[in-house]
Amino acid sequence: MPVVGLVPAASSSDTSSVTGASHYPLPSRAASAVPGAFSFVSNFEDGQLDGWTSISGAPPAVTSSPSYSGEPALSSVASSTIPQMDTAIKGFITGDSLISFQVAINAGSGTGFFGLGDLKKPVALVGVSKGEVMAGASLNALTSLGPVPKATSYPKGWVYIAANVNLTSAGWVMSVFVDNSKAVTGTLNVPAAGGYTDAIIMTTSGTVSYTDITVLSYAIPIVIPGYNNMEGYGQGSGLLVSLLPAYYNLTGQMTLDSWNTPQRAELSFQINAMNSTGTTQSTCAGFFQLGIDIDPKGTIQPWYVPGVDCESTWFSRAPTPTPPGSHLVLSIVDDWAAKKIRFTIVDTTIGQTFKASIPYHGSLFFSTYTQLEFQPCCNRYPIHDYQFAGSLYGLQITTKEGKTEGLGSGYMVPFILDTPPSWDFTYYQTAISGYQQIA
């Protein structure tokens, strides 16, 4: 997740370390365990249409230009008289009271929209027209939410838009978030949104490209005071899809194939374990992270987040040299007998172990996710100057009954889908069951 800054300070942990960057939890909600929840992800990296069907105008195509950080996108072309429209229904379950979606749009001089549809008719739309971000219940009920933001970490020409569509006491509303917004950009009435059946793409003029599409029944955009979760950045990560059985031990393995970064404490790779509070709320409480900063000149700097705030604590004041191909083993353990949480990273390649513990009196863990995280708040160099290749895999939990088990391939939904071509990584389990960035 993007962060608010670096704050060097004395640490209150039982190690002689200092405080590093702020790391914030991904969106999650208690409804993640509700039967019938669904998710739809479409980023066109396989060169296919991902289940999209044309219902008006010329069929769309997956093209490499304009690219999204080197990745292909869906290109949609409207004629002078007929809009180009596509729908997708893969995995959709109707009748939910909250539907969330995101999209990256490159409209150029054209006009294009993405959102929810009901049998080929839009019921909640966001889009771009003449340099303005637009949103509304239909093409005839659009509101301008302001100009497309500039100077973001997203590729030039692209704008990232996300929305929560939910049923309130006043009816169905859509809250829209735009890249770089520190709060809800706009809230609009979408009275027919409860009848959604599909996702819809509508290009009404020119040529418009779309990617990073996700539609699901868990809230994507959220507001955390002091934290800009809509600031553009690149990463691979995951939204929670279901609750895990109560567990006390999370382990994962990491391989660092190569890296070349110009700045310290800007790019990090990590695992996360959350207790009941951290799982069901977007909060820094009950949110425990363990990871490494990927630093310049072949160094890394291991750190952990103690679950009472979002500030990371470095195990050591100085970055640690480790060679390309390094293998690390990470673990977060709730030692309930000692009433502590123990954080451990073992760099098996150089034979060095990093350990820390904190007092803990909370519940067992119920969820986890993984991240490759860039911090756009503090970077002094373009995001493409940060090169990384590696993988995070073999995640396992040990339940309160003592059973050790892996995570299913469908446990996490990709969140931010595309990163610069200078990053090549697997962030979850294996290349088959996790999202793998391609160059």
Span 55-76, pLDDT tens digits: 999 899 999 988 887 788 999 9
Mean pLDDT to the nearest integer, 169-198: 91
pLDDT at 5: 22
pLDDT at 2: 24
**pLDDT over 80 at 43, yes or no:** yes
Of the candidates 72, 50, 91, 53, the one whose C-alpha atom is nearest the C-alpha of residue 201 is: 53
More confident residue, 225 or 43: 43
- Contact partners, residue 56, CB within 8 Å, separation at least 6: 82, 83, 84, 85
**pLDDT over 90 at 247, yes or no:** yes
Q: What is the pTM of this model?
A: 0.81
Mean pLDDT to the nearest integer, 88-116: 93
The CATH class of the 19-32+228-426 domain is mainly beta
Mean pLDDT to the nearest integer, 150-163: 85
More confident residue, 271 or 378: 271
Rounded CA gap, 29 and 280, in Å? Answer: 4
Write the single-letter amino acid at 423.
W
More confident residue, 341 or 411: 341
**pLDDT over 50 at 6, yes or no:** no
pLDDT at 282: 65
**pLDDT over 90 at 297, yes or no:** yes
Mean pLDDT to the nearest integer, 124-144: 96
The DSSP bridge pattern shows strands 326-335 and 247-260 to be antiparallel
Rounded CA gap, 428 and 430, in Å? Answer: 6
pLDDT at 82: 87
pLDDT digits (tens, 9 = 90+) for 298-317: 999 999 999 888 889 999 98
Name the pLDDT band for 148 (thresholds 50, 70, 90). Answer: very high
Name the pLDDT band for 423 (thresholds 50, 70, 90). Answer: confident
pLDDT at 63: 94
Q: What is the mean pLDDT of the chain?
A: 84
pLDDT at 428: 67
Lowest mean pLDDT among 21-30, 105-114, 345-354: 21-30
Superfamily of domain 38-216, CATH level 4: Exo-inulinase; domain 1 (2.60.120.560)
- Triad 324, 328, 333: Cα angle to 5°: 160
**pLDDT over 80 at 390, yes or no:** yes
Helix (H, G, I), strand (E, B) or coil at 377: coil
Mean pLDDT to the nearest integer, 357-380: 86
Rounded CA gap, 319 and 395, in Å? Answer: 25
| Residue spans in the chain of domains classed CATH 2.60.120.560 | 38-216
pLDDT at 279: 81
28-31's contacts with Cβ under 8 Å and 24+ in sequence apart are: 28/218, 28/239, 28/240, 28/274, 28/279, 28/280, 28/281, 28/282, 28/367, 29/218, 29/219, 29/280, 29/281, 29/282, 30/279, 30/280, 31/98, 31/217, 31/218
Helix (H, G, I), strand (E, B) or coil at 30: helix
Name the pLDDT band for 31 (thresholds 50, 70, 90). Answer: very low
Name the pLDDT band for 434 (thresholds 50, 70, 90). Answer: very low
pLDDT at 416: 64
Percent of the chain beyond pLDDT 70? 82
Mean pLDDT to the nearest integer, 217-243: 60
Are 235 and 33 in contact by the 8 Å Cβ rule? The answer is no
**pLDDT over 80 at 272, yes or no:** yes
**pLDDT over 80 at 376, yes or no:** no
**pLDDT over 70 at 234, yes or no:** no
Name the pLDDT band for 232 (thresholds 50, 70, 90). Answer: very low
Q: How many residues does the chain have?
A: 439
Burial of 186 (0-12, 13-18, 19+ CB in 10 A): buried
**pLDDT over 50 at 433, yes or no:** no
Rounded CA gap, 243 and 29, in Å? Answer: 10
**pLDDT over 50 at 30, yes or no:** no
pLDDT digits (tens, 9 = 90+) for 331-344: 999 999 999 999 99
